[in-house]
Structure formats: C-alpha cells, structure tokens
Amino acid sequence: MKAFIVSRYGKKEKLQLVELVEPVVKENDILVQVHSAGVNLLDSKISNGEFKMILPYKTPFILGHDVSGVVTKVGPGVSKFKPGDEIYARPADHRIGTFSAFISMNEKDAALKPKNLSMEEAASIPLVGLTAWQALIEKANLKKGQKIFIQAGSGGVGTFAIQLAKHLGATVATTTSAGNIDLVKSLGADIAIDYQKDDFETVLTDYDIVLNSQDKKTLEKSLRVLKPGGKLISISGPPDPGFGQEINANWLLKIVLKVLSAGIRKKAKRLGVNFSFLFMRAHGEQLSQITKLIEAGAIKPVLDKVLPFEQTNEAMTYVESGRAKGKVVVKVK
C-alpha cells in the first residue's frame, strides 16, 4: 500500500511516498481503507521534531491523524463495527498513520461517519471536533448564557468550536483578520474582532472561558479578559503538570512541564482564574456524539482545500502558512 512516511525529523524534511505492507489487525482492531485524511498542524509539529519529548515516534513512521474510510476487516474482539461500515476517526497516539491507503486502529477510537457528509468533509472533523469537545464540554463545562472567547475563529479548531459553543447556548467572541469576519459570523460568532486592527483586551471583559490557540503574549492577555473564577484553556501550550499526569510522564518530563507552565500558572493564580493545558485525545464515543450533532445540522464542516493524496506535502505546507480557512484534506481514494 502507498503511504507518506517521516523518515527523518527536521523542519526542512519532506514526507516520503513509499510502498508498504498492509497493517496488522489486532484483537480489537478494525482495518480501514482510507478515503480521505485531514491535515493538521500537529502533523507538521511531529514531523519537524517539536513533539519528540511528548510523542517519541521512532522513524520511519506513517504520519496523519484524521481519517474517513471504509472498514475492510475486523479483529475477533470487535463488536461495534463490521466490514463495509463507513467510519471516521482520530486514531490514538502511537497508532497514527492516516496518510496511507490503509490503517488499523482500535475500534474504540472510531465512530460511524455522519451520513450527511462526504468522505472529504468527514475527514476534516475528528481532531478539531474532539479538541473543541474536550475543551468546551469536558474542561470548561460550558453552559447556556456563558461568555466564551475562541481565538482564531476561522481556523480548523475555531470553525468547529464556534458552532459547538453556539449549540451549547453561549455568547461567542472570536478573532480573525478582516477577510474572514463574514465567515466567523456565518458560523455564529456574536463578536468578531479583527486582530490586525483591534486589541481584544480592550473589547472583551468578564468572560467565563477563553480557548487560547495563539502565542505566549496572547495567552497572557487572555488572562485579563476573564472574570474571577474564569477558565483559560490553552491548546497551544505551555503544557502543565496535569498533562504530565495524564500521559504518565517520567519524573524529568514532569519537572520540565512544571517549569514551562510556572509563569502562566502564577499569573492566573494572582488574578483568581484557572489555567489549564489541553492535548486532545482519541475518543470514539465523543466522536459518536459529534456525529449526532452533525446529522442534526447543528455543526457543519468548513473545508478550505481538498488536494490529491500525492500532494500531501503541499497540503502540509499550506496548513503551516497559518492562513487556512477551516480545514485542509487530502483525498486518498
């Protein structure tokens, strides 16, 4: 089967298209023929070596975190799926590899594809959908009537998170550049701030929740738009000790995480707000809930580009530009 692999870590390294044998199907695995694969910044961060400490993949390995496709084989312990089922998934860490003709994964990571989405649309959802779900529902417990500030509303996470927050009944503020204001408003944003012209800190006050996806300066400013008791959830770092516990980090990594997040945790404490880092994880059950919301029309995919599989490197370069409006997907089959 054809697959794009990372053969060497590095900023200048490109993925290589190679021929490999089909993956092994374990007891609780499903084998999926990949139709489309979503491209994420996480793919670039892993490939350039930024994530080596947290996710130490040994080269060579197949890259890719989002998939839609058809189940072609199931392990003897599989109970949720059968051959022929159309699924989508963000396979678990250490079992990634969706830039490939086939992937095997534990059945607990997958969900039935929303019936009203094409394969390309479905592949754009899992990683960003689960990120928004775990931030807004699990961590923030976002409730009707609360105010949330979602940064970069026109990006992959932002386009999904705005729609989920509106579905939950929140008031949503977001940032984007002038050209994307109409897009974020069409998704439901109540307040759209052009970050190149206006400073969100002077516009927003007394927010319950901030979903931070930008740099350190933005993270620190975000603390000041929260009301006392508010929650700052960051998906762009710094990782905190709670995350170290979640991934069972060794003692050295635990110390590193404590040091990396010490500054922001101290500032948050001083202002009486809560800071936490989120690194999303695979979750087929939550993805099934997302399927229901999509089938009910509450959330729609936002696709910027669909490129042919052979152009996976170009798709990654485009995502790395930071200008994507919603998601970028490669069509494998």
Ligand X SMILES: NC(=O)c1ccc[n+]([C@@H]2O[C@H](COP(=O)([O-])OP(=O)(O)OC[C@H]3O[C@@H](n4cnc5c(N)ncnc54)[C@H](OP(=O)(O)O)[C@@H]3O)[C@@H](O)[C@H]2O)c1
325 touches ligand X (CB under 6 A): yes
* Alpha helices per DSSP H over the chain: 41-47, 119-123, 126-133, 156-167, 181-186, 200-203, 216-223, 241-246, 251-271, 284-295, 312-320
Task: Write each residue from 107 to 146 as x if it is in contact with ligand X (CB under 6 A), else as -, in one continuous string.
Answer: ------------------------x---------------
41 touches ligand X (CB under 6 A): yes
Query: Which of these ranges, 56-64, 83-91, 107-115, 320-328, lies near ligand X under the rule CB under 6 A?
Result: 320-328
Least CB distance to ligand X at residue 80 (A): 24
Structural contact between residues 294 and 117, judged by C-beta atoms closer than 8 angstroms: yes
Query: Which of these ranges, 26-34, 38-46, 136-144, 245-253, lies near ligand X under the rule CB under 6 A?
Result: 38-46
Query: Which of these ranges, 49-57, 63-71, 150-158, 241-249, lies near ligand X under the rule CB under 6 A?
Result: 150-158
Residues 6+ apart with CB under 8 A from 286: 130, 133, 134
- Residue 225's nearest CA partner among 241, 202, 258, 194 is 202
Q: Which residue is listed with tokens 């002077």?
A: 202
Residues 258-297 that bind ligand X (CB under 6 A): 278-280
Binding ligand X (rule: CB under 6 A), the pick from 236, 274, 311, 313 is 236
Q: At what angle do helices 251-271 and 216-223 cross, to 10 degrees?
A: 40
- Residue 312's nearest CA partner among 14, 18, 19, 12 is 14
239 touches ligand X (CB under 6 A): no
Binding site for ligand X (CB under 6 A): 40-42, 131, 151-152, 154-158, 175-177, 180, 195, 213-214, 235-236, 278-280, 319, 322-325
